[in-house]
Structure 1
Amino acid sequence: MELSLFFLIPLFYLASYLILFWVFIDAKNKRGMNIGCLWALIVLATGPLGLIAYLIVRNAD
């Protein structure tokens, strides 16, 4: 049990940083938004809710 948590917790941190980096790159370069850093901060602060909000806003364009 402890060994699986030992691997899962760093995996969740890695996944969250990869998602954060993806949101920044997607908003800045691919979508042409000048507020890529702001979206990255929103996702960092709110987690999955910020990611869902970003996905909704980006598809509205």
Structure 2
Amino acid sequence: MDLDHARWRKSSRSGSGGENDECVEVAFVPGTVGVRDSKKPEAGALVVSEQAWRSALATFR
């Protein structure tokens, strides 16, 4: 999955940007969702289907 041109959005539940804050970004591409660490975007992203993303969110609510 090519996410080079994806529009990444920082999670509203991420910290304020300090060194020890958790910083998660997500990108929605038709049919898939990318998740990455905003402090290390070069490390790559976890890519899951939209269905898997919705199931995961439902589990944590």
TM-score of the superposed pair, with normalisation by structure 2: 0.28
TM-score of the superposed pair, with normalisation by structure 1: 0.28
Q: Which has the larger radius of gyration?
A: 1
